[in-house]
Amino acid sequence: MSMIRDLRAVVRPARPSLRKDSGAYDTTRDPATPSAVVDCAVYRDGRRLETDKPLTPHEAMRQVRRDGGFVWIGLHEPTEAEFSGIAGEFGLHPLAVEDAVQAHQRPKLERYDDSLFTVFKTIHYVEHDELTANSEVVETGEVMCFTGRDFFITVRHGGQGSLRALRHRLQDDPELLAKGPSAVLHAIADHVVDGYIAVADAVQDDIDEVETEVFSPGRKGAPRGTDAGRIYQLKREVLEFKRAVSPLLRPMQLLSERPMRLVDPDIQKYFRDVADHVARVHEQVIGFDELLNSILQANLAQASVAQNEDMRKITSWAAIIAVPTMVCGVYGMNFDYMPETQWKYGYPLVLGITVTICLGIHRTLKRNGWL
């Protein structure tokens, strides 16, 4: 059982880095592999069988049926024609094959007679120098897994989420691979969910940045509407994140709780750890959405308060200007008998009274916080 105790360390050596140039995400197909088949290998007693030339899926399956072990085939965005031969060779269900080729599926677990079909959404955090109303925060891809008694097939869609490094780590632990295809399924599930945790931490930093700026004092010079656009864009990205995480809760619970003949009992218990991490990330994403709602409402309330303050200032200055406007309007009328028009000190007296009234109104309004 020492292999089982070290399972977590093997498939999860470190949380994937999301910083630039980390190499955590492979965005290109192997140049030496022009077809959709990225890798095809036979594993017996936990060890990869070395061959003089790359095996075809048919040759690999023939070896497995003759000598035992299991075959692991990795494909990247196969066409229907490229995948039809493999589907026929391994007896994959037509509905699952259709989903694997067309992609854009929600995370799920489907059981067929001789195989399990599992869909994972991979999440990649997009680096950005500054979060704007048009920033892309997360990118999604897909990993479809066909798990059989003696085969494991992965179909990837999207430019990120390469499984090459994970395959190499698993090959370094023959005891783990000796458990069969279910060990690979657990390793991929754990790898994908670890990616969720890392992305959640990065999104949390973006939300903290927006929250700090919204509630930061001294933001009078900031253009109105800028924060609302950024918050709304971040909400859209969190929603995309949520669509990847939430549907995965039930499949991980099934894999961890219900006995399945295609899943080794020693491996099944470790799906509980994956299910716990999915639940944790799901709670985080729900919290992100609620927090962004609160931040957006606070930002709109601040904009409303700022508009009210502007209206009060405009109203205050209008009230002050109304006094000289009224006086000038009265004395601008062409009447012969106007008060103090013939008096030597009439003009300075009226001017002084007007200024005094304006200053009194200004002082009163300023004391009440309108100016």
Q: Let me know whether 211 and 259 are in one domain.
A: yes
pLDDT band at 5 (very low <50, low <70, confident <90, very high): very low
Q: Select from 303, 331, 354 the last residue of a domain.
A: 303
Q: Let me know whether 362 and 230 are in one domain.
A: no
Give the 3-state secondary structure of residue 173: coil
Q: Select from 260, 282, 303 the last residue of a domain.
A: 303
Q: Closest by alpha carbon to 149, among 64, 252, 47, 272?
A: 64
More confident residue, 325 or 92: 92
Residues 6+ apart with CB under 8 A from 120: 107, 142, 143, 144, 145, 188, 189, 192, 248
Kindly state whether residue 203 falls inside one of the protein's structural domains: yes
Q: Between helices 181-214 and 226-245, what is the axis angle to 10°?
A: 160
Q: Let me know whether 274 and 319 are in one domain.
A: no
The whole domain housing 249 covers 37-303
Q: What is the pLDDT of residue 96?
A: 92
- Find out whether 151 and 125 touch, Cβ atoms under 8 Å: no
pLDDT of residue 70 exceeding 90: yes
Kindly state whether residue 150 falls inside one of the protein's structural domains: yes
Kindly state whether residue 149 falls inside one of the protein's structural domains: yes
Distance CA 304, CA 307 (A): 5
More confident residue, 139 or 329: 139
pLDDT of residue 82 exceeding 50: yes
Q: Let me know whether 219 and 296 are in one domain.
A: yes
Q: Let me know whether 41 and 147 are in one domain.
A: yes
Q: Select from 282, 303, 324 the last residue of a domain.
A: 303
Kindly state whether residue 185 falls inside one of the protein's structural domains: yes
Question: How many domains is the chain built from?
Answer: 2
pLDDT of residue 202 exceeding 50: yes
Q: Let me know whether 137 and 113 are in one domain.
A: yes
Q: Let me know whether 85 and 156 are in one domain.
A: yes
pTM: 0.74
Q: Let me know whether 201 and 126 are in one domain.
A: yes
Distance CA 25, CA 28 (A): 9
Q: What would the pLDDT profile of 257-285 be if each residue is shown by its tens digit?
A: 888 888 988 898 889 999 999 999 999 99
